[in-house]
Structure 1
Amino acid sequence: MPTTFELELQSALPDNTVTFGEAIESKYWHDWSGLAPVQPLALVRPRTTQDVSIAMALCNERRIALVPQGGLTGLAGGAQPVAGGVAMSLERMSGVEEIDAVMGTMTVLAGTRLSEIQDAAEAAGLYFPLDLGARGSCSIGGNLSTNAGGNRVIRYGMARDQVLGLEYVLPDGTIVSSLNKMIKNNAGYDLKQLFIGSEGTLGIITRVVLRLQAKPISVATAMCGCPDYEAVLTLLKTARAKLGPSLSAFEVMWPSFVDCMTNGLPQLRKPFAEAHGVYVLIEASGFREEGESAHLEACLSTLLEDGVVNDVVIGASERDAKELWALRDSVSEYPKVLGAVIGFDIGLPTTLMGEAVDRVQREVKAQWPDAHVLCYGHIGDSNLHVVVNVPSAGAHQPHSEVDALVYELVRSMGGTISAEHGIGLVKKPFLSFTRSPEEIALMQRIKAALDPHNVLNPGKVF
């Protein structure tokens, strides 16, 4: 027999909006965090902001937990359902509503996939710079909820830097629509910033006004082999000085990552015949008619002469560039190459990254000698990814032990336990490693003010 709440929820929303119990597909039971699946009491798939508001208000009134879900590509458990609660997937709220070429904006629904936004911007002769490996699966609402960064933060900033306006639903069902298109709008508090990066704990984003950029007319890509991390820092400093704003990506990969992925995936080509201490994928994009390749080559040739860079491969075509990026984007193939992994998305002062990689590789292998420890990241914006796999542990990887080791290292070096993916459930025990007691207390006060009954994505972050 359906409960009173289930009957109320079903009758309050349009037909085919709510699914219950065993009829809910298992894909809605979990995200990419690797946590054990949780079957929600109900799944709501709204088509309109009004649907979101109705469901949210009813859950708030009945004190039933509601967990918003985007593309389910998060790694911290932020979209993990709550037993006995409602999961709300925004996948039906998808589509580009307007592109304003004069203002340089795009208005989209929160469930729109990132790749669709990129394609729509390109079709309009513009450019949306936020880019992630999960671009074909992740949604813009999820990107904003976790303040995603991706590959081109060094030039364009994080997800929050791409947003001009938001529409969102508060825990009591109130719809707040502030679809601002103006870059300059300093009338009172910038409320949208509360909801960007809050992991769906303060409100549900339903509509977004995105800031678009001019589309670069030329892109140059190169892979560099450097002797050590000190050389990488010199390369970064020089590239910033010589290329200026045309420097659009600076991806660093240690041999642990390059060797593992090229050996495990035969379709990937090794960037160089000889091994190097550290590898850097560098991209320059701009608006020079003569192209960016000559400027990138001039920058790198001096570094080659000085021994800062040992070897360089420059993509001579778009196909070459895609092959160079394929190595960096191969992270989606971990299950095929390694099986179960323990992943980290951490931030550290850029100058300490080399030391951090040496320490984490040494300390993990001291406890698990057969461990694979893969390191790579967006070093230009202080973001390091660490992936650990212990073959002898099989499917039962030592998550808690490795977490404690890596996050203690982060705390000791003044870093952050989350550069992009948020806190969710997975990183919750370590929030104090990064935030002070006063900061956490203020976050909790904001949560209590907006969601006094703790019904919206409860148990996440704190």
Structure 2
Amino acid sequence: MTLIKPLGPELKEYVRDESRTVGHAETISFPTSEDQVRDVLRELHASGTPVTVQGARTGLAAGAVPQGGHVLNLSRMDAVLGLRRGEDGTYHLRVQSGVVLANLRKALANKSVPTNGWDEESLAALDELYADPEQFFPTDPTETSACIGGMVACNASGARSYGYGPVRPHVSALRVVLADGDVVALRRGEARAHGRSLRLVTEAGRSLSLDLPTYEMPHTKNASGYYVADDMDALDLFVGSDGTLGVVTEVELALMPAPAVVWGVSCFFETETAALDFTVAVRPALAHAVAIEYFDAGALSILRSQRESSAAFASLPAVEGRFACCVYVELDCDDEDEACAELYAIGDAMRAVGADEADTWVARTDVDRECQRFFRHAVPESVNMLIDERRRTNPAITKLGSDMSVPDERLHDVIELYRTTLAEAGLQSAAWGHIGNNHLHVNVLPRGDADFAAGKELFCSWAAEVTRMGGAVSAEHGVGKIKRGFLETMYGPEHVREMARLKRELDPAGQLGRGNLFGEELLGAMAGDAPSGAACEKGGERA
């Protein structure tokens, strides 16, 4: 009996994601095992039907939004499959792609990992894990309802990426089903490229010789296009590939010991220049910072308004009107003495830029940290509420959010770029995000159609300027469909063609993730080597 069903009106939620983009598809399936994924792909391969892979649909770049064909939704592939302990003592947890991050965290913290179907070796490793200090998976996207497969697809990161990096280094093995139903099993360190040539062997014994693109990736936080480097690990190619090279069905995650002491410090500044100078000064001074986050004047102003007008935010602590911005620092330490030393370093850095170390909120307990998390999450939620209110009179507009990063030495430059061009365009904005990585989400808040169009034009110009600064057009959300024009701005048309050729080597019919990274025109033109079209499609996340 086929798993493929018509995608009728009762399933309309599966043609959209958190980007607010809406697509269309003819059929859908909800496999629960890798064998079922293979069956679906084999059935669709003969006809060349496009396949869009979905998980929890929390993405912001429309990567899970179908453009026709079939939706392969992996949300019911949510089993924890086993555990092993490496020679160095690291625990590696094997999960299906549909496992939800929040559920995984809870299971690890409560020592309640489900063990249905586990072998004796995995059960023995679990006994050791429970006897040891608590282990955790550190990748921390804002949406904890994200699933692991989706996080792998876009190389997700989040607030704690300053200390722990994105998801890629925490993935130790993958199983990937190709478009024709064949499988590639990858374990970190076992298959590597030779220069920019990579050979993979499928479980059916087929040898695949791949030519990797020749571009150099920027030396900054980056989730823009395929990860490529000389002599790279084969596994890294599939992390961040936006569902275009294969369907990730299993992920093995390397766990870490949970920190003994976690403190959060919200530092308030009267000028943005002081906040930027503080960020530059505090980065080398802290050995245990895992997050350095930012909220600008626009974000704080909207938060103050929502606190006054919405009961949902009434419990938030008040932010004095004299403060223009906030930098939040999270510390993961071995003991309180270590945390105190870091706290003193934060105070020193504040004084050095003319700020007062008393203008801080320090959270040392779970209750205080939860209050700070509420504050951090209330900022984007307040902005979304503002936009929802405006959409009641103009449903066509929505927020436009950027996801760009630059090298350390260009932090002041990129902020100046944002401030100058936003003022010239007369646009309202609010910015927050991962300033420790020089990666802010600048959100344009349109008041009408003209603002919306101007915001999209502005993002196009930012993509070009950020590229000239040595940065990335997507730092953590992936490219998906919304930012594929930015990808050509960043790498140039010939390097994007190299990416498309690589996709064709693994997916000759261009079935998987159609519309992600490349337009159909480019993939269709590959055989004739036709030009790829305009570089910038005036994108910007609609979330």
TM-score bracket, normalised by the shorter chain, equals: 0.7 to 0.9
Partner of 1:363: 421
Q: Is the 8 A contact 1:238 1:299 kept in 2?
A: no
User: Aligned to 1:80, what secondary structure does the other structure show?
Assistant: coil
- Return the alpha-carbon distance in structure 2 between the equivalents of residues 395 and 442 of structure 1: 36
- Return the alpha-carbon distance in structure 1 between the equivalents of residues 191 and 28 of structure 2: 38
Alignment of 1:43-442 (within 5 A): 43-83=28-68, 85-100=69-84, 102-124=89-111, 125-135=134-144, 137-178=145-186, 180=187, 185-189=189-193, 190-244=233-287, 246-266=288-308, 267=313, 269=316, 272-288=319-335, 290=336, 292-310=338-356, 311-330=359-378, 331-339=380-388, 340-367=398-425, 369=426, 371-393=427-449, 400-442=456-498
Q: How many residues align?
A: 437
- Return the alpha-carbon distance in structure 2 between the equivalents of residues 396 and 25 of structure 1: 30
- Return the alpha-carbon distance in structure 2 between the equivalents of residues 59 and 228 of structure 1: 57
- Return the alpha-carbon distance in structure 2 between the equivalents of residues 419 and 187 of structure 1: 26
- Return the alpha-carbon distance in structure 1 between the equivalents of residues 174 and 24 of structure 2: 30
Q: 1:336 to 1:234 in 2, by over 3 A?
A: closer
Q: Is the 8 A contact 1:68 1:200 kept in 2?
A: yes
Deviating above 6 A after TM superposition, structure 1's stretches of 4 or more consecutive aligned residues are 394-397
Q: Is the 8 A contact 2:191 2:234 kept in 1?
A: no
- Return the alpha-carbon distance in structure 2 between the equivalents of residues 395 and 434 of structure 1: 25
- Return the alpha-carbon distance in structure 1 between the equivalents of residues 235 and 40 of structure 2: 22
Fraction of identical pairs, as percent: 25
Q: Is the 8 A contact 1:78 1:199 kept in 2?
A: yes
- Tell me by how many angstroms 1:400 deviates: 3.6
Q: Is the 8 A contact 2:283 2:436 kept in 1?
A: no
User: 1:264 corresponds to which letter in structure 2?
Assistant: Q
Q: Is the 8 A contact 1:104 1:211 kept in 2?
A: yes
- Tell me by how many angstroms 1:293 deviates: 4.1
- Deviation string, structure 1 residues 27-85 (Cα, Å, up to 9, x no partner): 101112222x22311011101101111111222211110110111111111111122x0
- Deviation string, structure 1 residues 301-356 (Cα, Å, up to 9, x no partner): 32344344332221243222222222222224433133221111111223333443
- Return the alpha-carbon distance in structure 2 between the equivalents of residues 109 and 459 of structure 1: 25
Q: 1:436 to 1:429 in 2, by over 3 A?
A: closer
Q: Is the 8 A contact 2:400 2:456 kept in 1?
A: no
Higher RCO (C-alpha 8 Å, min separation 6): 2
User: What TM-score, normalized by structure 1, do the two folds share?
Assistant: 0.87
Partner of 1:6: none
User: Aligned to 1:25, what secondary structure does the other structure show?
Assistant: helix
User: 2:374 corresponds to which letter in structure 1?
Assistant: A
Q: 1:103 to 1:374 in 2, by over 3 A?
A: same
Q: 1:443 to 1:225 in 2, by over 3 A?
A: same
- Return the alpha-carbon distance in structure 1 between the equivalents of residues 241 and 372 of structure 2: 34
Q: 1:364 to 1:305 in 2, by over 3 A?
A: closer
Range with greater deviation from structure 2 (227-236 or 167-176): 227-236
User: 1:420 corresponds to which letter in structure 2?
Assistant: E
Gaps of 5+ in 1: 1-10
- Return the alpha-carbon distance in structure 2 between the equivalents of residues 263 and 395 of structure 1: 22
User: 2:333 corresponds to which letter in structure 1?
Assistant: G
Q: Is the 8 A contact 2:300 2:325 kept in 1?
A: no
Q: 1:396 to 1:381 in 2, by over 3 A?
A: closer
Q: 1:216 to 1:264 in 2, by over 3 A?
A: same
- Return the alpha-carbon distance in structure 1 between the equivalents of residues 170 and 249 of structure 2: 16
Partner of 1:3: none
User: 2:385 corresponds to which letter in structure 1?
Assistant: K
Partner of 1:5: none
Q: 1:354 to 1:263 in 2, by over 3 A?
A: farther
User: Aligned to 2:402, what secondary structure does the other structure show?
Assistant: strand
- Return the alpha-carbon distance in structure 1 between the equivalents of residues 157 and 235 of structure 2: 17
Q: 1:294 to 1:286 in 2, by over 3 A?
A: same
Gaps of 5+ in 2: 112-133, 194-232, 389-397, 519-543
